[in-house]
Chain A
Amino acid sequence: DAGVTQSPTHLIKTRGQQVTLRCSPKSGHDTVSWYQQALGQGPQFIFQYYEEEERQRGNFPDRFSGHQFPNYSSELNVNALLLGDSALYLCASTRQVDSYEQYFGPGTRLTVT
């Protein structure tokens, strides 16, 4: 049973560019959340998708957007990249019915230069 998978594992972008990160949830899970973990910090909640809609959002600007597909996989898009967007981006999946049990993927390390 595959767990949460994310791609790519590492990414280097230039300021002002756009990036798309991808996540496939654990089998049987229907809800995907995204977190940003800056160096030396705890993960910060970006947003959560369920039934292809954004259900909750953290304190992140509109440059951060997402999507969930019918197969429950998800994308995180970040526009107009800033140096401060450099971080580990974590995807977590769960089942909506018992969503306290969240499983995290290995993350995508984004470096903005």
Chain B
Amino acid sequence: AQSVTQLGSHVSVSEGALVLLRCNYSSSVPPYLFWYVQYPNQGLQLLLKYTTGATLVKGINGFEAEFKKSETSFHLTKPSAHMSDAAEYFCAVGPFGGGGNKLTFGTGTQLKVEL
């Protein structure tokens, strides 16, 4: 079984400040890990993914995340927040190996960016 815990349902940062959204996962098999962003009244857009290889992954819009197996974490960061980053962010886990990945999502973190 797999599960995801996102710490902090709401995070508020100032424009230009560091963004840190936390995600911890539980998986009985090696995981694939994902971050998705959802803007109001829209579907989910993939920000970045970890499958195998390099543990620091870079995504779109300046976001990156680091897979830390020892901490079972996959936190999302961005050095400098922009107003357009305000959205809801979901961490998700899928089983290693593809084969029709069923994704298990966290409950989401709403990011607010203030002037």
Q: List residues of chain A with CB within 8 A of the CB of B100.
A: 31, 33, 48, 50, 55-56, 94, 96, 99
Nearest-Cβ distance from residue B88 to partner chain A, whole angstroms: 9
B99 in contact (CB, < 8 A)? yes
Number of residues from B at the complex interface, CB < 8 A: 25
Set B44, B45, B49, B108: member contacting A101, Cβ < 8 A: B49
> How many inter-chain residue pairs (CB < 8 Å) link A and B?
69
Nearest chain B CB to A38 CB, angstrom units = 10
Which bucket holds chain A's interface residue count? 20 to 34
Q: Is the CB of B98 within 8 A of A100?
A: yes
| Segment of A11-19, A67-75, A76-84, A103-111 in the binding face | A103-111
Residues of A within 8 A of B (CB): 4, 31, 33, 35, 40-45, 48, 50, 55-56, 58, 90, 92, 94, 96-107
6 closest Cβ pairs, A-B complex: A42-B105, A104-B44, A104-B43, A106-B43, A99-B98, A100-B32
